[in-house]
Chain A
Amino acid sequence: MSDVIDRPAAKAQFKVVGTRPVRPDGADKVTGKAAYGADLMLPGMLTGKIKRSPHAHARIIAIDTKKARALAGVKAVITAADFPDLASEEMAGGESAANVRDIALNCMARNAALYEGHAVAAVAATSASIADEALALIEVTYEVLPHVIDVEAAMAPGAPLLHADIFTKGVEPAPTTPSNIAHRHDLTRGDVNAGFAEADAIAEGRYTTAAVHQGYIEPHACVATFGADGQCQVWSASQGHFAVRTLCAKILGLDTSDIRVTPAEIGGGFGGKTTVYLEPLALALSRQCGAPVRMVMARDEVFRATGPTSGAVIEVKLGARRDGTITAGQIVLKYQAGAFPGSPVHPGVMTALACYDIPNFTITGYDVVTNSPKVTAYRAPGAPISAFGVESAVDDLALKLGMDPIALREKNAVRDGMKAAYGPTFRNIGYVETLEAIRDHPHYQAPLGPNQGRGVAVGFWFNIGGDSTAAVQITDDGAAVVATGNPDIGGSRASMAMMAAEVLGLPIEKVRPIVADTASIGYSMLTGGSRTTFATGMAVTQAAQQIVTDLKRRAAQIWEVAVDQVEWLDGAAVCRDPAKGELTLAALAAKSGETGGPIGAQVSLNAQGAGPGFGAHICDVEVDPETGGVTILRYTAAQDVGRAIHPAYVEGQVQGGVAQGIGWALNEEYIFDTDGKMENAGFLDYRVPVASDLPMIDTILVEVANPRHPFGAKGVGEVPIVPPLGAVANAVRAAIGVRMTDLPLSPPKIRAAIDGR
Chain B
Amino acid sequence: MSDVDYLAPTSADAAAKALAAGGAAARALAGGTDLLVQLKSGRLKGGLIVDLKHIPGAIGVREEDGAFVIGAATPGATIGEHAGLVRAWPGVVEATHLIGSTQVQGRASMAGNLCNASPAADSVPALIAARATCVIVGPSGRRTVAAEDIPVSPGRTSLKPGEFVLEIRLPARAARSADAYLRSIPRTEMDIAVVGAAVNLTLDSGGTIIEARVALGAVGPTVLIADDAAAAIIGSRLDAAALERLDAAARGACRPISDKRGTAEFRTKIAGVLARRAAAIAYGRARAKGEN
Contact = CB atoms under 8 A, between A and B. Distances in A.
B184 A747 contact: yes
A476 B166 CA distance: 69
Contact of A129 (B1, B189, B262): B1
Contacts of B3: 129
Contacts of B261: 685
Given A129-B1, A627-B273, A748-B266, A693 B188 contact: yes
A129 B187 contact: no
A627 B270 contact: yes
A680 to B, nearest CB: 6
Given A748-B263, A752-B266, A684 B2 contact: no
Interface in B261-286: 261-263, 265-266, 269-270, 273-274
A128 to B, nearest CB: 8
Contact of B273 (A626, A748, A752): A626
B260 A671 contact: yes
Contact of A690 (B188, B262, B273): B188
A629 B190 CA distance: 16
B191 interface: yes
A443 interface: no
Nearest to A626: B273
Given A129-B2, A747-B184, A684 B269 contact: no
A129 B184 CA distance: 38
Contact of A629 (B184, B192, B262, B265): B184
Nearest to B267: A748
A689 to B, nearest CB: 7
A323 interface: no
Nearest to A671: B260
Contacts of A689: 187
B188 to A, nearest CB: 4
B155 interface: no
A427 interface: no
A666 B261 CA distance: 14
Interface residues of A, number: 24
A685 B120 CA distance: 14
A679 interface: yes
Given A627-B270, A679-B260, A748-B263, A687 B191 contact: yes
Contact of A748 (B187, B262, B274): B262
Nearest to A752: B266
Nearest to A688: B187
Interface of A: 129, 132, 626-629, 666-667, 671, 679-680, 684-685, 687, 689-690, 692-693, 746-748, 751-752, 755
Closest 8 pairs between A and B when the two form their complex, measured CB to CB: A748-B266, A692-B188, A626-B273, A671-B260, A679-B260, A667-B186, A690-B189, A692-B189
A684 B262 contact: no
Interface string B231-262: 00000000000000000000000000000111
Interface in B209-246: none
Nearest to B270: A627
B1 to A, nearest CB: 7
22 contacts: A132-B2, A626-B273, A627-B184, A627-B274, A628-B266, A666-B186, A667-B186, A671-B260, A679-B260, A684-B191, A684-B192, A685-B261, A687-B187, A689-B187, A690-B188, A692-B188, A693-B188, A747-B184, A747-B194, A748-B263, A748-B266, A755-B269
Contacts of A667: 186-187
Contacts of A671: 260
Contacts of B262: 747-748
Contact of B186 (A687, A752, A755): A687
Interface string B1-38: 11100000000000000000000000000000000000
Contacts of A751: 266, 269-270
A752 B262 CA distance: 12
Contacts of A132: 2
Contact of A747 (B1, B186, B188, B274): B186
B99 to A, nearest CB: 13
A671 B189 CA distance: 21
Contact of B187 (A627, A628, A690, A752): A690
B81 to A, nearest CB: 22
A755 B263 CA distance: 15
A532 to B, nearest CB: 32
A350 B186 CA distance: 34
Contacts of B189: 690, 692-693
Nearest to A625: B273
Contacts of B265: 752
A629 B184 CA distance: 9
Residue from B187, B189, B194 having most chain A Cβ neighbours under 10 A: B187
Interface in B103-156: none
Contacts of A679: 260
Given A684-B190, A692-B187, 15 more contacts: A627-B270, A627-B274, A629-B186, A666-B186, A679-B260, A685-B192, A685-B260, A687-B191, A690-B188, A692-B189, A693-B187, A693-B188, A693-B189, A747-B262, A751-B270
Nearest to A299: B41
Nearest to B42: A132
A680 B194 CA distance: 15
A690 B102 CA distance: 14
B291 to A, nearest CB: 29
Contacts of A692: 187-189
Contacts of A626: 269-270, 273
Nearest to A746: B186
A687 to B, nearest CB: 6
B154 to A, nearest CB: 16
A615 B189 CA distance: 30
B75 to A, nearest CB: 20
Given A129-B2, A627-B270, A680 B260 contact: yes
User: Which of B186, B269, B274 counts the most chain A CB atoms within 10 A?
Assistant: B186
Interface string B182-201: 00101111111010000000
B145 to A, nearest CB: 30
Contacts of A746: 186
A666 B273 CA distance: 21
A748 B266 CA distance: 6
Nearest to B263: A748
B172 to A, nearest CB: 35
A4 B46 CA distance: 57
Nearest to B195: A627
Interface string B159-197: 000000000000000000000000010111111101000
Contacts of B1: 129
A660 B3 CA distance: 39
A695 to B, nearest CB: 11
A627 B3 CA distance: 44
A667 B187 CA distance: 8
Nearest to A682: B41
Interface string B26-58: 000000000000000000000000000000000
A544 to B, nearest CB: 45
Nearest to B247: A626
A132 B39 CA distance: 14
Nearest to A744: B186
Interface in B72-90: none
A692 B190 CA distance: 10
Nearest to B272: A626
A747 B183 CA distance: 13
Contacts of A752: 265-266
B219 to A, nearest CB: 14
A690 B101 CA distance: 11
Which of A685, A746, A748, A751: most chain B Cβ within 10 A?
A748
Nearest to A667: B186
Contacts of B187: 667, 687, 689-690, 692-693
A627 B267 CA distance: 10
Contacts of B270: 626-627, 751
A81 B184 CA distance: 50
A297 B7 CA distance: 31
Contacts of B263: 748
